[in-house]
Amino acid sequence: MEKLVYLVRERASRDGANLRNGILGEVVPLLSQAGAAGISVHMTDDRVSIAGPMPCPGGELPLRLAVSLWLPAHDDRAPIETILAELGERVDGYLVTEAVYSEFGQRAGAPRDWAAGERSPGLVTLALVHRNPLLDERTFREFWYGHQSPMSERMQPRLRYVRNSVVHPVTEGAPPIDGIVVETWESEELVEDIVAFHNGDIENLTVMLDSVGTVFDMSRLRSIAMSEYLF
Q: Which residue segments constitute the domains of the chain, with CATH numbers given?
A: 2-230 (3.30.70.100)
Which tens digit of pLDDT belongs to each residue from 70-82?
A: 999 999 999 999 9
Query: What is 14-39 written as a DSSP string?
Result: S-HHHHHHHIIIIIHHHHHHTT-EEE
Q: What is the mean pLDDT of residues 148-163?
A: 97
pLDDT > 90 in the chain, percent:
97
Average pLDDT of every residue of the chain: 97
CB 228 within 8 A of CB 40: yes
Query: Within a 10 A sphere around the Cβ of 50, how many other Cβ atoms?
Result: 15
Task: Please state, in angstroms and as integers, the Cα–Cα distance from residue 51 to each residue in 23, 163, 205, following that order.
Answer: 20, 21, 20
Residue 149 identity = S
3-state helix, strand, coil in the chain (%, to 5): 30, 30, 35
How does strand 63-71 pair with strand 37-43? antiparallel
Which tens digit of pLDDT belongs to each residue from 76-111?
A: 999 999 999 989 999 999 999 999 999 999 988 899
Give the helix ranges, DSSP H, for 68-184. Answer: 78-84, 137-143, 149-155
CB 166 within 8 A of CB 91: no
The residue among 60, 57, 159, 54 whose CA lies nearest residue 101 is 159
The phi, psi pair for 149, rounded to 5°, reads -65, -55
**pTM for the structure as a whole:** 0.96
pLDDT > 70 in the chain, percent:
100
**Which pLDDT band, with edges at 50, 70 and 90, does 118 fall under?**
very high
**pLDDT in the model for residue 107:** 85
